[in-house]
Structure 1
Amino acid sequence: MTTEEHVVLVDRDGRALGTAPKTSVHGRETPLHLAFSSYVFDREGRVLLTRRADHKITWPSVWTNSCCGHPLPGEPVDRAVVRRLSYELGIEAERADLMLPAFSYRAVMANGIVEHELCPVYRVVVDASVSPNPDEVGETRWMPWKEFAEGAQNGLLAISPWCREQVPLLTELGSDPLRWQPASSDDLPLAARL
Structure 2
Amino acid sequence: MDDVTLLAEDGTAIGTLPKSEVHTHDTPLHLAFSCYVLDREGRLLLTRRALSKKTWPGVWTNSFCGHPRPDEAMSDAVRRHGAGELGLQLSEIRMALPDYRYRAVDASGIVENEICPVHVAVFDGEPAANPDEVSEWTWVAVGPLVEAVTHAPFAFSPWMVEQLPLLRRLGEV
Q: TM-score, normalised by structure 1?
A: 0.86
Alignment correspondent of 1:97: 94
Counting matched residue pairs gives: 173
SS of residue paired to 1:150 = helix
Equivalent in the alignment of 1:76: 73
- The answer for the alignment partner of 1:134 in structure 2 is 131
More strand by share: 2
Moved more, 34-43 or 10-19: 10-19
Could you tell me which residue of structure 1 aligns to residue 43 of structure 2?
46
Name the SS of the counterpart of 2:107 in structure 1. coil
Tell me the equivalent position of 1:187: none
Q: Pairwise mapping of residues 162-181 of structure 1 onto structure 2 (< 5 A)?
A: 162-174=159-171, 177=173
Please point out which of 25, 28, 31 is paired with 2:25: 28
Runs of at least 5 residues in structure 2 that lack an aligned partner in the other structure: none
What secondary structure, in the 3-state scheme, does the structure 1 residue paired with 2:170 have? coil
Query: 1:27 & 1:66 partners in 2: Cα distance?
Result: 24
- Preserved contact between residue 153 and residue 161 of structure 2 (Cα < 8 Å): no
* Residue of 14, 17, 20 corresponding to 2:11: 14
Preserved CA contact (<8 Å) 1:78 1:95: no
Separation in 1, partners of 2:134, 2:12? 31
The amino acid that maps onto 2:21 is S
Residue identity over aligned pairs, in percent, reads 51
Give the distance between the partners of 2:153 and 2:29, measured in 1 at CA.
30
Q: 1:156: how far off? A: 6.1
SS at match of 1:96: strand
Normalised TM-score (structure 2): 0.96
